[in-house]
Every structure is written in structure tokens, then in C-alpha cells.
Structure 1
Amino acid sequence: MYKNLIEILKRKGISKKAYAEFLGLSEKTVWNKLQGKTEFTLGEAQKTCKLICPEYKMDYVFAAKQTAA
């Protein structure tokens, strides 16, 4: 789960739907990526960091938190 990214999007008022449109993906795909079920591509990560949250380092934004199974 990408808790830092989820929190950044929330603080900036960017919905999951808007983020999905920004990346050119479906909401379901973005939900799966945010939950850590599928991975973000390097391009998606770079676009996110460059245009949405340039004040943060990519390592922070995309730090994955492991959830208990």
C-alpha cells in the first residue's frame, strides 16, 4: 500500500478518479496500484512526482508499506 502517495493525493484534493484520468488508467487499475496489488510503472511514478508532487522525492512518495496477509 502506498500510504504516502494516498495522503499526498488527499492533501492536494485529488480524487482517485482524477488521478486515474491523469495517468490515463481506469479507477480500478489505480486502486489496485495504490493498494500494492499491481506496480506503478516508472513513467507513471515520474509523471506523478514531476507534475503532482515535485516537492517530494520519489522514494518517499512510492515507499510501499507491507500489509499483513
Structure 2
Amino acid sequence: MYKNLVEILKRKGITNKAYADYLGITEKTVWNKLQGKTEFTLGEALKTCALMPEYKMDYVFAMEEKVA
């Protein structure tokens, strides 16, 4: 899960729907990406970082490992 990205989106008041529209993908695809089920493309990562330039890409896209 991309915990940092989820938290940043919440802080900025950006809904999954608005984020999906910004990236040009569906809300379900955004949810899958945020959960780590599918990967972000480089283009999506670059667009995301343009939306939040105060954060570094490695922080935004730090993966939280699930403990089994």
C-alpha cells in the first residue's frame, strides 16, 4: 500500500475520483494502484509528483510492506 501517497491526497483534499480524472484512469484502477495491486506507470508517477512538488518521489511512492 502507498500509505504516504494516500495520506498526502487526503491532506490536499483530493478524492480518488479527482485523482483518477487527473491521471486519466478509472477510480477502480486508482484504488488498485494505491493498494499496490497494480503498478503506477512512470507517466502516472511523474504527473503525481507534479501535483505535489513539495514531496520527493521516493517518499510519495514508498511501499508499505504487508505483514502476513
**Structure 2 length-normalised TM:** 0.96
In 2: Cα distance, 1:25 partner to 1:38 partner: 13
SS in 2 for 1:30: helix
- CA RMSD for the aligned pairs? 0.7
Cα distance, 1:67 vs. partner?
A: 1.3
In 2: Cα distance, 1:46 partner to 1:23 partner: 10
SS in 1 for 2:48: helix
Cα distance, 1:66 vs. partner?
A: 1.2
Aligned counterparts, 1:1-69, within 5 A: 1-50=1-50, 52-69=51-68
- CA deviation profile, 1:15-59 (whole Å, cap 9, x unmatched): 000000000000000000000000000110001101x11000000
**Paired residues, number:** 68
Q: Please identify runs of 4+ aligned residues in structure 1 that moved more than 2 A.
A: none
In 2: Cα distance, 1:16 partner to 1:66 partner: 22
What stretches of structure 2 of length at least 5 have no aligned partner? none
What stretches of structure 1 of length at least 5 have no aligned partner? none
Cα distance, 1:68 vs. partner?
A: 2.7
